[in-house]
Amino acid sequence: MKKWFQLCLTAVFAIVCMPLFCACVRGQANRSRYEITAEYDPAHQTVTGVVKLTFENPTENELSALEFQLYPNAYRENALYSAVYSTEEKTAYYDGKSHGGITVTSVSGAKGWQITGEDENILTATLTQSLYPGESVVLDLGFTVTLPKINHRFGVGQDAVALSRFFPVLCGVYGGAFVQVTPSSIGEPYVLDSAEYKLSLTLPKEYVPVSSCEVQILQTLESKTVYLLTGDSIRNFGLSLYTDRQTLQTRVGDCQLTYAYTKDDNAERTLETVKEVFAYCQSKFGAYPYPTFTLLQTTQAGDVYGYTAFCTVAEHLTERERTRAIVKQVVKQWFGEIVGIDLVHNAWQSDGIAEYVALTFFEEKSGYGVEKEKEVMKCLREYRSYYDVYGSVLDRTDTKMTKPLSEYVNAYEYRCISVNKAVVMLDTLQKSIGEKRLFAGLKRYCTQYAFVLTGEAELIGALENHGADVQGFFDGFLQGKVIL
Confidence label for 468 from pLDDT (cuts 50, 70 and 90): confident
With DSSP H G I counted as helix, E B as strand and the rest as coil, what are the percentages for the chain, rounded to 5?
35, 30, 35
Q: Are residues 49 and 184 in the same domain?
A: yes
- Spatial CB neighbours of 88, under 8 Å, sequence gap ≥ 6: 152, 185, 301, 302
What separation in angstroms does the CA of 65 have from each of 4, 56, 133, 421? 53, 12, 13, 39
| Domain that includes residue 283, residue range | 246-334
Answer yes or no: are the C-beta atoms of 235 and 340 closer than 8 Å: yes
Q: Are residues 226 and 256 in the same domain?
A: no
1 or 344: which carries more pLDDT confidence? 344
Confidence label for 416 from pLDDT (cuts 50, 70 and 90): very high
- Spatial CB neighbours of 30, under 8 Å, sequence gap ≥ 6: 194, 195, 196, 232, 233, 451
Angstrom distance (rounded) from CA 87 to CA 81: 15
DSSP strands (E only) in 185-223: 195-204, 208-211, 214-220
Q: Is residue 353 part of a domain?
A: no
Total domains present in the chain = 3
Q: Are residues 187 and 305 in the same domain?
A: no
- The 10 Å Cβ neighbour count of residue 62 is 11
Nearest alpha-carbon partner for 393 in 385, 383, 382, 404:
385
Q: Is residue 7 part of a domain?
A: no
Q: Is residue 21 part of a domain?
A: no
pLDDT at 91: 93
- Domain of residue 202, CATH code: 2.60.40
What separation in angstroms does the CA of 106 have from each of 110, 125, 128, 170, 284? 10, 11, 15, 16, 46
3-class state of residue 136 by DSSP: strand
The domain boundary, picked from 205, 235, 265, lies at 235
Please provide the average confidence, as pLDDT, over all residues in the chain.
Answer: 92
Crossing angle of helices 348-364 and 319-332, in 10° steps, is 120
Q: Is residue 285 part of a domain?
A: yes
pLDDT per position as a tens digit, 112-123: 999 999 999 999
pLDDT at 30: 56
pLDDT at 329: 98
pLDDT at 251: 97
Q: Structure pTM?
A: 0.91
Nearest alpha-carbon partner for 308 in 288, 338, 280:
338
- Spatial CB neighbours of 10, under 8 Å, sequence gap ≥ 6: none
Residue 5 has pLDDT above 50, yes or no: no
- Domain of residue 271, CATH code: 3.30.2010.30
Report the amino acid identity of residue 408.
Answer: Y
Q: Is residue 342 part of a domain?
A: no
